[in-house]
């Protein structure tokens, strides 16, 4: 049965009890795995995919529900963020979560808004793209995620992994970097974006789109699919042309459309370039790519990631897509 805990102390006690109840492994060198899914609630099928992945690998699945004020640069957005604790807890329970940590604001940040005084900064990574439009957002994410990792991690020798959605690609890059830079003892796992039947990436914010806003929002994923097709076919990406089209689209307030290195979020393709499967980015007119770009292409990561953000009706939407070239594109 799923238990909901509202204090860090009760959560840690419940986690220790759950670990103690696990059957002894056949091989004593096998250590149990605790899988965490951190959320801000308002769950949708994208979260369900995270919970299912966590359940498939973890011996114990823990999840958090906390709307973190530190990551909202706009108070109205924080106030309007959908809150549905009971429904969320039911969905988590149906997807096999063992323990839910659902603290209130004072439990997470005693004395808020004066605290917390000491925070984690995402540094330069936190000021790019989304971070540029939402100052402090990634510092707020880094701070709350560090706290959740600390509160929700199991005692040794159990292992600990946390699951995040690729929908928030920049958040994922920040968290991966933070875990490496700060030696946090947690493995980071990611699940692909879940899209609806028309291609719109699922987001808790979609609840606030009118029918017209919804149609307008589809332009975002269409632009990404166009870039992915062009990369695959070895055509010039023409990011600038797509930007101009989107800027001229009524109902869409484009903030950015860029092609970046997925790990450091550096812009890869400022102009009209072709992405090739050998990992070389060439100008369409045959110029070689600047040296820095070559370093950014890695075998085990997608060659490039297209990021988009736009205001549609009352909400700001973000989406992204991996760009991969085929062998014939070289
Ligand atoms: O992705 C989210 O829902 C939030 O940014 C997270 C990771 C739960 C931190 O508040």
Indicate if ligand 1 lies below 6 Å from the C-beta of 39: yes
168 is in an annotated binding site: yes
- Angle at CA of residue 62, ends 59 and 121, nearest 5°: 125
Helices 137-152, 8-21: axis angle to 10 degrees equals 50
**Cα 294–chain centre separation:** 25
The span from the CA of 226 to the CA of 308, in Å, is 13
As a dihedral over the C-alpha atoms of residue 176, residue 177, residue 178, residue 183, rounded to 10 degrees, the angle is 90
Q: Write out pLDDT tens, residues 137-195.
A: 999 999 999 999 999 999 999 999 999 999 999 999 999 999 999 999 999 999 999 99
Distance from the alpha carbon of residue 37 to the mean position of ligand 1, in angstroms = 9
Determine the average pLDDT of the residues in 275-291: 44
Determine the average pLDDT of the residues in 7-22: 97
Does residue 289 register a pLDDT over 80?
A: no
Q: What is the pLDDT of residue 141?
A: 98
pLDDT, mean over the chain: 89
Distance from the alpha carbon of residue 2 to the mean position of ligand 1, in angstroms = 21
- Measuring from atom 2 of ligand 1, which residue has the nearest CA? 39
Does residue 199 register a pLDDT over 90?
A: yes
Tokens of 119: 């925070």
Tokens of 37: 């899914």
Closest CA to 201 of 216, 173, 220, 174: 220
Q: Where are the beta strands (DSSP E) in the chain?
A: 3-5, 33-39, 60-65, 99-101, 159-165, 187-191, 253-260, 273-275, 281-283, 304-312, 315-323
Whether residue 176 contacts residue 202, with contact meaning beta carbons closer than 8 Å, is answered with no
Whether residue 53 contacts residue 189, with contact meaning beta carbons closer than 8 Å, is answered with yes
Domains of the chain with CATH codes:
3-191 (3.40.50.620), 206-323 (3.30.1300.10)
Distance from the alpha carbon of residue 71 to the mean position of ligand 1, in angstroms = 9
219 is in an annotated binding site: no
Q: What is the pLDDT of residue 211?
A: 97
Q: Half-sphere exposure (CA, 13 Å, Cβ side) for 56?
A: 9
The span from the CA of 25 to the CA of 12, in Å, is 22
The span from the CA of 227 to the CA of 218, in Å, is 15
Percentage of the chain exceeding pLDDT 70: 88
- Measuring from atom 3 of ligand 1, which residue has the nearest CA? 39
């Amino acid at each position: 049965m799923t238990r909901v805990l509202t204090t860090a102390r009760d959560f840690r006690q419940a986690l220790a009890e759950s670990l103690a109840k696990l059957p002894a492994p056949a091989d004593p060198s096998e250590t149990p795995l605790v899988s965490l899914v951190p959320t801000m609630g308002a769950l949708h099928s994208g979260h369900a995919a995270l919970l299912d992945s966590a359940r498939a690998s973890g011996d114990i699945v823990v999840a958090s529900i906390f709307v973190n004020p530190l990551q909202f640069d706009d108070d109205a957005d924080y106030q309007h963020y959908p809150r549905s604790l009971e429904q969320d807890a039911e969905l988590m329970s149906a997807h096999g979560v063992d323990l839910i940590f659902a603290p209130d604001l004072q439990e997470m940040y005693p004395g808020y808004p004066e605290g917390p005084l000491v925070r984690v900064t995402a540094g330069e990574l936190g000021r790019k793209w989304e971070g540029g439009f939402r100052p402090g957002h990634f510092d707020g994410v880094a701070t709350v995620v560090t706290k959740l990792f600390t509160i929700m991690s199991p005692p040794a020798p159990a292992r600990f992994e946390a699951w995040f959605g690729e929908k928030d690609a920049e958040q994922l890059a920040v968290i991966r970097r933070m875990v490496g830079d700060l030696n946090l003892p947690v493995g980071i796992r990611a699940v692909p974006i879940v899209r609806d039947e028309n291609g719109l990436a699922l987001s808790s914010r979609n609840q606030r789109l009118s029918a017209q806003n919804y149609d307008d929002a589809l332009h975002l994923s269409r632009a990404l699919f166009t870039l992915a097709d062009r990369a695959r076919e070895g055509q010039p990406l023409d990011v600038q042309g797509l930007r101009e089209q989107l800027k001229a689209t009524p109902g869409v307030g484009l903030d950015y459309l860029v092609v970046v290195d997925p790990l450091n979020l550096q812009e890869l393709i400022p102009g009209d370039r072709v992405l090739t499967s050998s990992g070389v980015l060439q100008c369409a007119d045959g110029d070689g790519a600047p040296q820095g770009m070559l370093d950014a292409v890695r075998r085990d990561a997608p060659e490039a990631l297209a990021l988009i953000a736009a205001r549609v009706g009352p909400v700001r939407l973000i989406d992204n897509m991996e760009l991969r070239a085929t062998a014939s594109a070289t």
